[in-house]
Amino acid sequence: MATLSRIGLFESEPHPLLKDAKRPTFKKFLSEHLKMKTEDLDRPLIGEKIIPERIVTLGYCKEQGAAVRAAKTIVFLGLHEQKEIPTSCKSAFEVTCLRMEERLAYSSTEQDMVLLHHEVEVEFPDGLREKHTGTLLEFGKMKSGKMITAMAFTVGVPAAIGALLILGNKIKTRGVLRPIEPEVYVPAMDILQAYGIKLMEKIE
């Protein structure tokens, strides 16, 4: 990702090539960033030779291995394709995000997984020691014909719960609060479990 950033594929400023009504192709856009002729990208083995060579030559990357990985990412995202960039894209960042959204989206047969595991060792004043572990395992689920990712579910639901607790005046303390405050986590954990998000806890 660092190499792609140095190439300029994450720049958020409007790009001159994307200002006109006549849209450039992804290939033209990539050629501009790699300072090479568009027809050079038509040569064979573009992902294995030409693009890495340009990346190293332009000083975007010193190691050949990293340059090859960056080139493979560029090819995987289709940034070398002879296809017009949509008018919605005004910056390099938007172009890259569009390609990522298209190429990295889950198919109907795929699902993500969230695994969270905490281990905390506790020593009490009397010398007693305990090991507390907490594990959360959540998978993406199909609902109404649409995949709801585990990442979206486990991030979105807690945020929504926090907002509801504040709006319902269940959290009376004001300011920046950590989730270790009982008035935050006690009601939040109950609601989380009602939504099927459960932390498996163990004390040894």
pLDDT score, position 39: 64
Count: domains in the chain: 2
**131 and 89 housed in the same domain:** no
pLDDT score, position 174: 86
- Structural domain of residue 13, as residue ranges? 2-104
CA distances for 180 relative to 69, 130, 193, angstroms: 42, 19, 17
**169 and 125 housed in the same domain:** yes
Beta strands in the chain (DSSP E): 113-123, 129-139, 141-143, 146-148, 200-203
Q: What is the CATH number of the domain that holds 49?
A: 1.10.1870.10
Sheet with 200-203: strands ordered across: 113-123, 129-139, 200-203
pLDDT score, position 45: 46
**162 and 75 housed in the same domain:** no
pLDDT score, position 41: 59
Strands 141-143 and 129-139: unpaired
Sign of the alpha-carbon torsion through 100, 138, 195, 179: negative
Domain boundary among 104, 125, 142: 104
**10 and 68 housed in the same domain:** yes
Strands 113-123 and 129-139: antiparallel
Domain boundary among 55, 72, 104: 104
Domain boundary among 104, 122, 149: 104
pLDDT score, position 44: 53
pLDDT score, position 121: 95
**158 and 176 housed in the same domain:** yes
Q: Does pTM surpass 0.85?
A: no
pLDDT along the chain (204 residues), means of 10: 91 90 90 78 60 89 89 91 92 95 85 93 93 94 84 92 91 85 90 88 92
**76 and 130 housed in the same domain:** no
